[in-house]
């Protein structure tokens, strides 16, 4: 059905979305089936404990391989997961307005009686929907493969990790959406989002090692994503709230900028 911009946007992502979710299922299978192999190697945790702090930091901070949740937190949720979700979010966030504008179909869409704000709201909703669906599939994959492999994953905490990842993805999706809505340029939009992503990832990873840099963690989305180690301790409402609020502010900026500018094509 093509009743509105939301449905049209999701329909356009049918193939890419399905591929993305299949990829998530494949990666979760790899990570979960890898766990029993790693857990059997008693020496590994001792080896990890002796690693320099800088190595641990870039690999994701706390490296606790003694439980499935600890292993997942370090092996998947610290780097691979964010990359998968941020890439998806940035591709679709920058495509939402800027992509349609560069293809030239935005003028045709906006010649209908729909306000710019409405188009933006629908595009943002489709973006959040896609990211959330990915997070749900991620949890289903982790849970299903854990059952199949006999891994004692704590499902509730895993769900909170997936939720936190969805929030991180949403933040970067909204960042790309806002940059695209403000400029109409897909390249600028994804460039800004990726630059912010890489910078804040490194800042969050290394700030704890440098005393004067430590407070800087508080401005990185990664801190609010994983600072509380949701896979081990559950999500912090405060941290989740910060990511949600930041995403909402970005969406507000997107609406503000989009409303005020000339369409480029």
Partner 1 sequence: MNAVNRPAIATEGLTKYYGNVRGIEGVDLEVGRGQIFGLLGPNGAGKTTTIRLLLDFIRPTRGSAHVLGMDARRKSVEIRRRAGYLPGELAIYDNLTGVEFFEYVSRLRGKVEPPDLSAICERLDFDTRRKLGTLSRGNKQKAGLIQAIMHKPDLLLLDEPTSGLDPLVQEQVHGLLREAASRGATVFLSSHILSEVEELCERVGIVREGRMIAVEAVDDLKRRAVRRMTIEFAEPIDAATFERLPGITEIEVRGRQVRCRVVGSLDSVVKAAARFQVENITTEEPGLEEVFIEYYSGGPARNAR
Instruction: Quote the CA–CA distance of 216 and 202 in Å, as a whole number.
Output: 11
Q: Minimum distance between the CB of residue 264 and partner 1, rounded to whole angstroms?
A: 9
Q: List CB contacts of 211: < 8 A, sequence separation 6 or more.
A: none
For the chain, how long is the longest CA-to-CA vector? 66
Name which of 111 and 211 has its Cβ closer to partner 1: 111
208 close to 214: Cβ distance less than 8 angstroms: yes
Name which of 233 and 261 has its Cβ closer to partner 1: 261
Q: Which of 36, 115, 155, 187 binds partner 1 (CB under 8 A)?
A: 115
The rounded radius of gyration (Å) of the Cα atoms in the chain is 20
Q: Minimum distance between the CB of residue 148 and partner 1, rounded to whole angstroms?
A: 36
Q: List CB contacts of 65: < 8 A, sequence separation 6 or more.
A: 38, 39, 44, 45, 48, 71, 74
Nearest one of 190, 192, 180 to 100, comparing CA atoms = 180
Q: Which of 12, 59, 140, 234 binds partner 1 (CB under 8 A)?
A: 12
Give the number of other Cβ atoms within 10 Å of residue 124's Cβ: 27
Q: Which of 40, 43, 50, 262 binds partner 1 (CB under 8 A)?
A: 262
Q: Which of 111, 150, 212, 237 binds partner 1 (CB under 8 A)?
A: 111
Q: Minimum distance between the CB of residue 99 and partner 1, rounded to whole angstroms?
A: 12
Q: Minimum distance between the CB of residue 118 and partner 1, rounded to whole angstroms?
A: 8
Q: Minimum distance between the CB of residue 11 and partner 1, rounded to whole angstroms?
A: 8
Instruction: Quote the CA–CA distance of 83 and 234 in Å, as a whole number.
Output: 21
Name which of 49 and 259 has its Cβ closer to partner 1: 259
Q: Which of 36, 104, 187, 252 binds partner 1 (CB under 8 A)?
A: 104
Give the number of other Cβ atoms within 10 Å of residue 111's Cβ: 8
Part in contact with partner 1 (CB under 8 A); list of ranges 60-68, 91-99, 101-109, 225-233 = 101-109
- Residues in touch with partner 1 (CB under 8 A): 2-5, 8, 12, 103-105, 107-115, 262-263, 265
């Amino acid at each position: 059905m093509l009743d509105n911009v939301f449905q049209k946007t999701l329909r356009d992502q049918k193939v890419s979305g399905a591929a993305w979710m299949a990829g998530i299922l494949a990666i979760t299978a790899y990570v979960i089936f890898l766990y029993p192999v790693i857990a059997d190697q008693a020496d590994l945790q001792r080896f990890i404990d002796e690693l320099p702090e800088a190595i641990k930091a870039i690999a994701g901070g706390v490296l606790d391989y003694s439980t499935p949740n600890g292993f997942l937190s370090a092996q998947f949720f610290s780097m691979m997961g964010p990359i998968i979700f941020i890439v998806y979010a940035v591709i679709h966030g920058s495509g939402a307005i800027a992509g349609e504008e560069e293809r030239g179909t935005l003028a045709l869409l906006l010649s209908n009686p729909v306000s710019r704000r409405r188009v933006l709201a629908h595009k943002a909703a489709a973006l959040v929907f896609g990211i959330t669906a990915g997070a749900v599939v991620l949890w289903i994959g982790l849970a299903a493969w854990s059952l199949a492999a006999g891994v004692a994953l704590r499902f509730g905490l895993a769900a909170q990790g997936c939720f936190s990842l969805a929030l991180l993805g949403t933040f970067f999706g909204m960042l790309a959406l806002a940059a695209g809505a403000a400029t109409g340029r897909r390249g600028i939009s994804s460039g800004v989002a990726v630059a912010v992503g890489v910078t804040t990832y490194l800042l969050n990873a290394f700030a704890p090692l440098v005393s004067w840099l430590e407070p800087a963690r508080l401005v990185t989305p990664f801190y609010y994503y994983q600072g509380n180690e949701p896979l081990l301790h559950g999500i912090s409402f405060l941290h989740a709230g910060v990511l949600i609020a930041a995403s909402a502010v970005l969406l507000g900026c997107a609406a503000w900028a989009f409303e005020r500018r000339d369409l480029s094509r």
